[in-house]
């Protein structure tokens, strides 16, 4: 009886009972590498089997120096239309060719860009505008391919991660998340798939959107999104040129591997992004000054109305309440136990002047 090689599918999950044990045994004899990872993972049956952490080698290595660590999970967020797809494709091109990105050293790795956002014509236009020529180390899997690009729980991607240690880019999270963004339970389960790919050797980059409220300016959705990643950046527009992107800032808001850094990016047609100076962030408004000005411009408002106005200026509710409690506002009762606020205006007196009589100054009252 001749041996028959059973090819186990690599692109979809296969339940253990779906393939007879005899068939797996035959396949293992003929081509053991085909089934090395087909079964369930080895299990720890005794605590003493755990390797000593002191004997395990682990050093921080960078895919892109100071930006993306090797074998990590990373996040870039921005408002829609800011340019995160431009930046992600530029990163993909630089890593595929081993060229510097924004002045930072890069390690060459194969890339799989999973594009769930853009049609084929836009993806090709981005590659052209960025000057990314054809290379076998950059593959783009978009919605124009049947089947559509998979999420992070794909068996095919696990095999690819294990074999090639690639950079995997998802554009964007909302297109692949099969649960509710605001649900901590569903989001944590989804984000765990990215971590499993990183454990297999892949470096992960996820694109995501910022929210519209003052509490979601870094990213939209559950706080488990930020908790599950190693490095996180928000992409901000600093200037535009003829209606298109020009200068951007990649501003770090989470850094697990090393102190986070900000990076200035300037777009040059057919060359991609080069490093430029990072602008200083705008000075945060002083809460007390902001609240006083709002009350002065809108006298007779209650606390809830003042909080709503201050929120638009980036002042939190508890800061507004502290300002209203401790500042010299005029307070008068309104309807339904509401308190209405106006600004107390006090005349500005001239500063006391002193006149010397010999060696002693005259009292200020006398001068006045």
The pLDDT of residue 126: 97
Q: Could you say which DSSP state residue 17 is in?
A: G
What lies within 8 Å, CB to CB, of 331 at 6+ separation is 339, 340, 341
Report the distance separating Cα 323 and Cα 288, nearest Å.
Answer: 6
pLDDT exceeds 90 at position 160: yes
The whole-model pTM stands at 0.70
Question: Between these two residues, 355 and 206, which has the higher pLDDT value?
Answer: 206
pLDDT bracket for residue 364 (50, 70, 90): very low
Q: Averaged over 12-17, what is the pLDDT? A: 39
Please give the sequence-ordered ranges of beta strands (E in DSSP) within the chain, or none if there are none.
62-64, 68-69, 73-78, 111-115, 138-142, 167-171, 203-209, 231-241, 244-255, 263-268, 272-276, 301-302, 329-333, 339-343, 356-357, 360-361
User: What single-letter DSSP state applies at residue 336?
Assistant: G
Q: Domain extents for the chain? A: 1-58, 62-276, 283-368
Residue among 70, 103, 126, 115 at smallest CA distance from 250: 103
pLDDT attached to residue 354 = 46
Residue 355, pLDDT score: 45
Q: In this prediction, what percent of the chain has a pLDDT beyond 90? A: 62
Structure confidence at residue 96 (pLDDT) = 98
For residues 225 and 191, the answer to whether their CB atoms sit within 8 Å is yes
pLDDT bracket for residue 321 (50, 70, 90): confident
The Cα–Cα gap between 238 and 282 comes to 12
Fold of 283-368: Arc Repressor Mutant, subunit A (1.10.10)
Kindly report, residue by residue over 146-159, the tens digit of the pLDDT: 999 999 999 999 99
- At the topology level, CATH places domain 62-276 in Rossmann fold (3.40.50)
* Average pLDDT for 66-89: 96
Which band of pLDDT confidence, cut at 50, 70 and 90, is reported for residue 283?
low
Instruction: Check pLDDT > 50 for residue 82.
Output: yes
């Amino acid at each position: 009886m001749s041996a028959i090689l059973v090819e186990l599918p690599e692109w979809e999950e296969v339940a253990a009972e779906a393939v007879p044990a005899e068939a797996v045994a035959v396949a293992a004899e003929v081509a053991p590498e085909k089934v090395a990872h087909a079964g369930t993972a080895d299990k720890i049956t005794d605590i003493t089997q755990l390797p000593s952490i002191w004997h395990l080698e682990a050093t921080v290595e960078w895919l892109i120096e100071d930006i993306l660590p090797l074998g990590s999970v990373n996040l870039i967020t921005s408002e829609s239309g800011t340019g995160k797809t431009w930046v992600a494709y530029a990163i993909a091109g630089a890593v595929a060719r081993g060229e510097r990105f924004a002045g930072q050293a890069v390690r060459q790795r194969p890339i799989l860009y999973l594009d769930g956002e853009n049609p084929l014509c836009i993806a090709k236009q981005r590659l052209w505008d960025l000057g990314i020529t054809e290379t076998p180390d950059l593959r783009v899997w978009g919605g124009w391919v049947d089947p559509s690009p998979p999420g992070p729980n794909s068996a095919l991607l696990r095999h690819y991660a294990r074999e090639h240690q690639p950079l995997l880019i998802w554009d964007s999270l909302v297109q692949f998340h099969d649960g509710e963004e605001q649900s901590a339970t569903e989001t944590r389960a989804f984000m765990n798939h990215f971590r499993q790919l990183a454990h297999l050797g892949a470096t992960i980059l996820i694109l995501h959107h910022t929210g519209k409220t003052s509490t979601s300016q870094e990213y939209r959705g559950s706080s488990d999104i930020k908790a599950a990643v190693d490095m996180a950046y928000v992409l901000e527009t600093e200037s535009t040129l003829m209606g298109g992107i020009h200068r951007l800032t990649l501003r770090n808001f989470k850094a697990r591997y090393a102190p986070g850094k900000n990076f200035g990016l300037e777009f040059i047609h057919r060359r991609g992004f080069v490093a430029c100076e990072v602008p200083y962030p705008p000075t945060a408004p002083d809460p007390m000054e902001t609240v006083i000005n709002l009350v002065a411009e809108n006298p007779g408002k209650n606390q809830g109305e003042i909080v709503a106005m201050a929120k638009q200026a980036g002042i939190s509710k508890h800061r507004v309440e502290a300002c209203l409690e401790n500042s010299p506002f005029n307070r008068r009762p309104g309807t339904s136990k509401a308190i209405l606020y106006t600004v107390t205006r006090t005349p500005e007196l001239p500063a006391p002047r002193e006149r010397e009589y010999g060696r002693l100054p005259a009292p200020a009252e006398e001068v006045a």
